[in-house]
Protein backbone atom coordinates (compact mmCIF):
# COMPACT_ATOMS: atom_id res chain seq x y z
CA UNK A 1 0.00 0.00 0.00
CA UNK A 2 1.33 3.45 -0.88
CA UNK A 3 1.80 6.36 1.50
CA UNK A 4 -0.96 8.16 -0.40
CA UNK A 5 -3.44 5.34 0.30
CA UNK A 6 -2.50 5.36 3.98
CA UNK A 7 -2.96 9.13 4.14
CA UNK A 8 -6.37 8.80 2.47
CA UNK A 9 -7.42 6.48 5.30
CA UNK A 10 -6.83 9.18 7.95
CA UNK A 11 -9.68 11.46 9.02
CA UNK A 12 -8.72 15.10 9.57
CA UNK A 13 -10.78 16.88 12.23
CA UNK A 14 -10.42 20.68 12.34
CA UNK A 15 -10.44 22.54 15.68
CA UNK A 16 -10.09 19.43 17.85
CA UNK A 17 -9.51 19.23 20.78
CA UNK A 18 -9.33 23.04 20.74
CA UNK A 19 -9.73 25.71 18.09
CA UNK A 20 -6.74 26.01 15.77
CA UNK A 21 -5.60 22.40 16.12
CA UNK A 22 -5.99 20.13 13.10
CA UNK A 23 -6.38 16.61 14.49
CA UNK A 24 -5.18 13.61 12.47
CA UNK A 25 -7.53 10.80 13.50
CA UNK A 26 -5.91 7.41 12.84
CA UNK A 27 -8.93 5.45 14.08
CA UNK A 28 -10.23 5.51 10.51
CA UNK A 29 -6.91 3.98 9.44
CA UNK A 30 -7.29 1.26 12.08
CA UNK A 31 -10.77 0.29 10.89
CA UNK A 32 -9.39 -0.33 7.39
CA UNK A 33 -7.83 -3.80 7.67
CA UNK A 34 -5.43 -3.28 4.75
CA UNK A 35 -4.20 0.06 6.06
CA UNK A 36 -3.85 -1.27 9.62
CA UNK A 37 -1.92 -4.31 8.41
CA UNK A 38 0.38 -2.05 6.36
CA UNK A 39 1.12 0.16 9.37
CA UNK A 40 1.93 -2.87 11.51
CA UNK A 41 4.10 -4.39 8.77
CA UNK A 42 6.07 -1.15 8.39
CA UNK A 43 6.65 -0.69 12.12
CA UNK A 44 7.70 -4.31 12.62
CA UNK A 45 10.09 -4.13 9.66
CA UNK A 46 11.84 -1.18 11.32
CA UNK A 47 12.31 -2.96 14.67
CA UNK A 48 12.48 -6.69 13.93
CA UNK A 49 16.26 -6.80 14.44
CA UNK A 50 16.55 -4.38 17.38
CA UNK A 51 15.95 -6.91 20.17
CA UNK A 52 12.82 -5.17 21.45
CA UNK A 53 11.68 -6.75 24.72
CA UNK A 54 8.92 -4.25 25.63
CA UNK A 55 6.67 -1.96 23.62
CA UNK A 56 5.35 0.97 25.67
CA UNK A 57 2.18 2.37 24.12
CA UNK A 58 1.04 5.87 25.01
CA UNK A 59 -2.64 6.31 25.91
CA UNK A 60 -4.79 5.76 24.10
CA UNK A 61 -4.22 5.30 20.38
CA UNK A 62 -0.67 4.14 21.10
CA UNK A 63 -2.20 1.07 22.74
CA UNK A 64 -3.79 -0.14 19.52
CA UNK A 65 -0.82 -0.53 17.19
CA UNK A 66 1.63 -0.79 20.10
CA UNK A 67 0.05 -3.95 21.48
CA UNK A 68 -0.16 -5.53 18.02
CA UNK A 69 3.50 -4.66 17.32
CA UNK A 70 4.53 -6.12 20.68
CA UNK A 71 2.76 -9.40 19.87
CA UNK A 72 4.37 -9.58 16.43
CA UNK A 73 7.85 -8.85 17.82
CA UNK A 74 7.48 -11.35 20.67
CA UNK A 75 7.76 -8.52 23.21
CA UNK A 76 5.75 -7.53 26.24
CA UNK A 77 3.35 -4.59 26.16
CA UNK A 78 3.44 -1.79 28.72
CA UNK A 79 0.70 0.89 28.87
CA UNK A 80 1.64 4.50 29.54
CA UNK A 81 -1.54 6.04 30.96
CA UNK A 82 -3.11 9.16 32.32
CA UNK A 83 -3.08 9.50 36.13
CA UNK A 84 -5.29 7.22 38.19
CA UNK A 85 -5.82 4.56 35.50
CA UNK A 86 -3.20 2.00 36.55
CA UNK A 87 -4.04 -0.19 39.57
CA UNK A 88 -0.60 -0.69 41.15
CA UNK A 89 2.22 1.62 42.24
CA UNK A 90 3.23 4.01 39.46
CA UNK A 91 5.95 6.42 38.40
CA UNK A 92 4.78 9.66 36.75
CA UNK A 93 6.06 12.44 34.53
CA UNK A 94 4.39 15.82 33.82
CA UNK A 95 4.80 17.79 30.61
CA UNK A 96 3.51 20.72 28.56
CA UNK A 97 1.59 20.25 25.34
CA UNK A 98 0.05 22.46 22.66
CA UNK A 99 -3.04 23.22 24.70
CA UNK A 100 -2.10 22.81 28.37
CA UNK A 101 -0.25 20.48 30.70
CA UNK A 102 -0.68 16.81 31.47
CA UNK A 103 0.85 13.88 33.32
CA UNK A 104 1.49 10.28 32.30
CA UNK A 105 2.18 7.23 34.45
CA UNK A 106 3.65 3.77 34.12
CA UNK A 107 3.66 0.88 36.58
CA UNK A 108 6.74 1.01 38.81
CA UNK A 109 7.64 -2.58 37.85
CA UNK A 110 6.96 -2.26 34.11
CA UNK A 111 10.52 -2.12 32.75
CA UNK A 112 13.73 -3.86 33.75
CA UNK A 113 17.29 -2.54 33.25
CA UNK A 114 18.00 -5.18 30.56
CA UNK A 115 14.95 -4.26 28.47
CA UNK A 116 15.08 -2.75 25.00
CA UNK A 117 12.00 -0.54 24.83
CA UNK A 118 10.08 0.75 21.84
CA UNK A 119 7.82 3.67 22.77
CA UNK A 120 4.89 3.93 20.35
CA UNK A 121 2.18 6.51 19.75
CA UNK A 122 0.03 7.61 16.86
CA UNK A 123 1.22 11.22 16.44
CA UNK A 124 4.41 13.19 17.02
CA UNK A 125 3.63 16.92 17.08
CA UNK A 126 5.24 19.26 19.62
CA UNK A 127 6.94 16.29 21.28
CA UNK A 128 5.64 16.99 24.80
CA UNK A 129 3.97 13.65 25.40
CA UNK A 130 6.66 11.70 23.58
CA UNK A 131 9.57 13.30 25.41
CA UNK A 132 7.77 12.79 28.75
CA UNK A 133 7.32 9.11 27.84
CA UNK A 134 11.01 8.87 26.99
CA UNK A 135 11.99 10.44 30.34
CA UNK A 136 9.64 8.07 32.14
CA UNK A 137 10.97 4.97 30.38
CA UNK A 138 14.60 6.07 30.73
CA UNK A 139 14.11 6.45 34.49
CA UNK A 140 14.13 2.61 34.59
CA UNK A 141 17.61 2.54 32.98
CA UNK A 142 16.74 0.17 30.13
CA UNK A 143 19.44 -1.08 27.79
CA UNK A 144 18.05 0.99 24.87
CA UNK A 145 15.03 3.13 23.99
CA UNK A 146 13.48 3.74 20.56
CA UNK A 147 10.46 5.88 19.66
CA UNK A 148 8.03 5.30 16.81
CA UNK A 149 5.00 7.19 15.56
CA UNK A 150 2.52 6.54 12.82
CA UNK A 151 2.51 10.23 11.84
CA UNK A 152 5.16 12.90 12.32
CA UNK A 153 3.58 16.34 11.89
CA UNK A 154 6.63 18.08 10.48
CA UNK A 155 5.57 21.74 10.51
CA UNK A 156 4.71 21.92 14.21
CA UNK A 157 7.57 23.39 16.25
CA UNK A 158 9.02 20.88 18.69
CA UNK A 159 8.68 22.41 22.12
CA UNK A 160 10.18 19.27 23.66
CA UNK A 161 12.75 17.69 21.36
CA UNK A 162 13.59 14.02 21.67
CA UNK A 163 16.96 13.14 23.24
CA UNK A 164 19.68 12.45 20.68
CA UNK A 165 20.29 8.96 22.06
CA UNK A 166 16.70 7.88 21.25
CA UNK A 167 16.29 6.97 17.57
CA UNK A 168 12.91 8.20 16.28
CA UNK A 169 10.97 6.89 13.30
CA UNK A 170 7.58 7.49 11.76
CA UNK A 171 5.56 5.77 9.08
CA UNK A 172 4.24 9.01 7.55
CA UNK A 173 5.36 12.64 7.61
CA UNK A 174 2.53 15.15 7.19
CA UNK A 175 1.99 18.88 7.41
CA UNK A 176 -0.68 20.37 9.64
CA UNK A 177 -1.34 23.12 7.14
Q: Which residues are catalytic?
A: 61, 98
| CA dist., res. 12 & res. 21, Å (int) | 10
Cis peptide before 96 (omega within 30 of 0): no
| CA dist., res. 170 & res. 176, Å (int) | 15
Beta strands in 27-177 (DSSP E): 54-58, 76-80, 90-97, 100-107, 116-124, 144-153, 168-174
Decide: 29 and 6 in contact? Cβ < 8 Å: yes
| CA dist., res. 41 & res. 36, Å (int) | 9
Torsion of CA 40, 45, 49, 53, to 10 degrees: -10
Cis peptide before 17 (omega within 30 of 0): yes
Amino acid sequence: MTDEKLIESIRIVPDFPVEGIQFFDVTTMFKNPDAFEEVLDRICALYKDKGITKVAGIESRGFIAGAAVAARLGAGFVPIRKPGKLPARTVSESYSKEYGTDTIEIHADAIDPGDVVLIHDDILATGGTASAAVRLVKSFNPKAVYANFIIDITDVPRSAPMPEDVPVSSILSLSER
